[in-house]
């Protein structure tokens, strides 16, 4: 098939893409199309890419799911999803051009015939267009059917369509990618039977966040931080991914997961890797991912000793959030009476390499914490207390660089300053950079960036197979230990607090304290 038409003449609203980003004509198939993620994130992201002229001229979207839904009803559901969840209001004019190429395909995930008819449908789209299209499969289903979908994509021939050309098929796999090391390995093996690694896009939506991408820019596009970004100057690193929300209506899912699987294994470990990695030799995906894997592999196995170990888990109890009383974890809908799932986990990591040996990385994530705040705090060593100290009275604070991932995205530098007056007294002061002030606040959502990157074949912001396994390798012994321990060692914290007292010990052992984020 030859390329016979020009994107921009067919769809003037799409002008710009082929010049700037060059995604080839694409059919996106979303497995799990009637799910929550599709409505909340995927469809609004696709709409906003349309608004920004970043969809290819020939763009088709097929929703796939078990429930039969007529095409027009599916389109109306997608209209509603945009109205409710898009960062920009629904523009009928722009959406209509995408909408007319939206359809729905009903079928089971292990139903070979339904996959064969899906393949025929996409072949039909190619024939109608008179040109080749790239197939982009978005697997947004419960993980239990990931393998069945991948194997049917292979058996139906869709995975191999136009292989080794720019139209090669791609597959985006949502989290959770496995539930432990063994299942992640099995899933990787199932994928490898069908796809080449270059076709696989394992998603971690934190990598699509502007502030997370900016971490590499802050580190490697400035010359003032890198010389002090090491064990000589850094005292500790604290990474917090806190949410004020509880498990809400997701109790059934969440209880099979817990904070360690849901947030630490993926999002938080990615923040560790980006904070600690060496400068990559270039910005190509493999160079960056090679450096991240090295960090993950350099993290020492954790001590699981329930008294002095590196790990703390806890569950929220009833408390107050924004002045409103909220339930404890065990009272939430869908949580079994004998649940031993944690809603909070904190870890003390040691990275055994030249740069970080001896610098503790404290990481924590929890639901129903005091407020939504994700941040990376680099705490530098204190200056020697010989000048501005009188006993401990005027002791100076440690300099801290805080990269605020969300909300209130920005970077803050905490430094010491003289309090005006006749005495020489010091006080920590803050220098702020705020994205919203400098760049305005309507920045793209993570999913916009990630879907666009997958369409243009850039896997930098996706997780490579060995990366996910390295992270599971670290986390799995903790999960196994907790499973064996049942309730033993489970701490509690009041909803609306900064987590359990037990987690203070992790830092106190080294004379550190958790920051009160914000």
- Active-site positions read 267
Residue 164 phi/psi, 5° resolution?
A: 65, 20
Inter-residue contact 430 to 397 (CB < 8 Å): no
Nearer to ligand BG6, 105 or 209 (CB): 209
- Judged by CB under 6 A, the chain residues 334 through 373 that form the site for ligand BG6 are none
Distance CA 389, CA 426 (A): 9
Distance CA 159, CA 168 (A): 8
CA 224 from centre of chain: 28
Size of interface with ligand BG6, in residues (CB under 6 A): 3
Judging by beta carbons within 10 Å of its beta carbon (0-12, 13-18, 19+), is residue 20 exposed, middle or buried? Answer: exposed
Inter-residue contact 251 to 316 (CB < 8 Å): no
Q: CA-based angle 234:437:405, to the nearest 5? A: 40
Distance CA 462, CA 470 (A): 15
Q: What is the 3-state secondary structure (H, E, C) of 283-307?
A: CCHHHHHHHHHHHHHHECCCCCCCC
Using Cβ positions, the residue closest to ligand BG6 within the complex turns out to be: 262
Judging by beta carbons within 10 Å of its beta carbon (0-12, 13-18, 19+), is residue 452 exposed, middle or buried? Answer: buried
**Residue 262 binds ligand BG6, judged by CB under 6 A:** yes
Nearer to ligand BG6, 243 or 255 (CB): 243
Distance CA 293, CA 285 (A): 12
- Judged by CB under 6 A, the chain residues 148 through 207 that form the site for ligand BG6 are 175
Distance CA 404, CA 131 (A): 45
Nearer to ligand BG6, 140 or 416 (CB): 140
Question: Is cis: bond before 439, omega within 30 of 0?
Answer: no
**Residue 243 binds ligand BG6, judged by CB under 6 A:** yes
Nearer to ligand BG6, 26 or 268 (CB): 268
Judging by beta carbons within 10 Å of its beta carbon (0-12, 13-18, 19+), is residue 291 exposed, middle or buried? Answer: middle
| Smallest gap from residue 175 Cβ to ligand BG6 (A) | 6
Nearer to ligand BG6, 7 or 255 (CB): 255
| Smallest gap from residue 170 Cβ to ligand BG6 (A) | 21
| Smallest gap from residue 327 Cβ to ligand BG6 (A) | 17
| Smallest gap from residue 203 Cβ to ligand BG6 (A) | 9
Nearer to ligand BG6, 255 or 453 (CB): 255
| Smallest gap from residue 204 Cβ to ligand BG6 (A) | 8
| Smallest gap from residue 337 Cβ to ligand BG6 (A) | 22
| Smallest gap from residue 267 Cβ to ligand BG6 (A) | 6
**Sheet-wide strand order for 311-317:** 425-434, 410-419, 400-406, 373-380, 234-242, 360-366, 344-350, 311-317, 490-494
| Smallest gap from residue 24 Cβ to ligand BG6 (A) | 29
Nearer to ligand BG6, 7 or 243 (CB): 243
E-assigned strands of 45-143? Answer: 59-65, 102-106, 134-139
Nearer to ligand BG6, 175 or 464 (CB): 175
Distance CA 415, CA 377 (A): 13
Footprint of ligand BG6 on this chain (CB under 6 A)? 175, 243, 262
């Amino acid at each position: 098939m030859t390329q016979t038409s020009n994107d921009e003449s067919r769809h003037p609203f799409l002008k710009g893409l082929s010049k700037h980003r060059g995604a080839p004509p694409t059919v996106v198939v979303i497995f799990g199309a009637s799910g929550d993620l599709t409505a909340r994130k995927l469809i609004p992201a696709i709409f906003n890419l349309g608004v920004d002229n970043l969809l290819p001229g020939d763009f088709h979207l097929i929703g796939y799911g078990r429930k039969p839904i007529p095409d027009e009803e599916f389109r109306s559901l997608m209209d509603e999803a945009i109205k409710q969840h898009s960062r920009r209001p629904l523009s009928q004019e722009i959406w209509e051009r995408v909408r007319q190429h939206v359809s729905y395909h009903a079928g089971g995930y292990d139903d070979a015939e339904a996959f064969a008819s899906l393949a025929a449908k996409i072949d039909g789209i190619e024939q109608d267009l008179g040109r080749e299209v790239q197939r982009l499969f978005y697997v947004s289903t419960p993980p239990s059917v990931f393998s069945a979908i991948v194997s049917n994509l292979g058996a139906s021939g869709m995975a191999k369509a136009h292989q080794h050309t720019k139209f090669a098929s791609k597959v985006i796999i949502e989290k959770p990618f496995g539930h432990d090391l063994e299942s992640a390995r099995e899933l990787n093996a199932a994928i490898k039977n069908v796809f080449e690694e270059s076709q696989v896009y394992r998603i971690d939506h934190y990598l699509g966040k502007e502030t997370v991408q900016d971490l590499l820019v802050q580190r490697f596009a400035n010359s003032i931080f890198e010389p002090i970004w090491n064990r000589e100057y850094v005292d500790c690193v604290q990474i917090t991914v806190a949410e004020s929300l509880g498990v809400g209506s997701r109790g059934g899912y969440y209880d099979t997961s817990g904070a360690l699987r849901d947030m630490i294994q993926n999002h938080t470990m990615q923040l560790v890797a980006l904070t600690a990695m060496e400068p990559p030799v270039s910005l190509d995906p493999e160079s960056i991912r090679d450096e991240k894997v090295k960090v993950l592999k350099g993290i020492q196995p954790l001590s699981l000793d329930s008294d002095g170990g590196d790990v703390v888990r806890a569950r929220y109890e009833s408390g107050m959030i924004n002045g409103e009383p909220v339930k404890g974890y065990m009272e939430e809908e869908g949580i079994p009476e004998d649940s031993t799932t944690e809603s909070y986990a904190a870890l003390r990591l040691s990275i055994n390499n030249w740069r970080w040996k001896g610098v503790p990385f404290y990481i924590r994530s929890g639901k129903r914490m005091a407020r939504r705040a994700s941040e990376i705090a680099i705490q530098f060593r204190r200056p020697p207390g010989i000048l501005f100290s009188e006993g401990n009275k005027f002791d100076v604070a440690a300099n801290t660089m805080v990269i605020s991932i969300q909300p209130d995205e920005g970077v803050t530098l905490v430094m010491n300053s003289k309090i005006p007056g006749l005495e020489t007294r010091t006080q920590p002061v803050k220098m702020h950079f705020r994205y919203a002030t400098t760049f305005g606040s309507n920045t793209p959502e993570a999913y916009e960036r990630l879907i666009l990157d997958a369409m243009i074949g850039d896997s930098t912001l996706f997780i490579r197979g060995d990366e996910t396994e390295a992270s599971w390798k670290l986390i799995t012994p903790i999960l196994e230990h907790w499973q064996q321990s049942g309730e033993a060692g489970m701490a509690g914290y009041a909803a609306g607090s900064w987590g359990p007292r037990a987690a203070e010990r992790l830092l106190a052992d080294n004379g550190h304290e958790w920051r009160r984020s914000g």
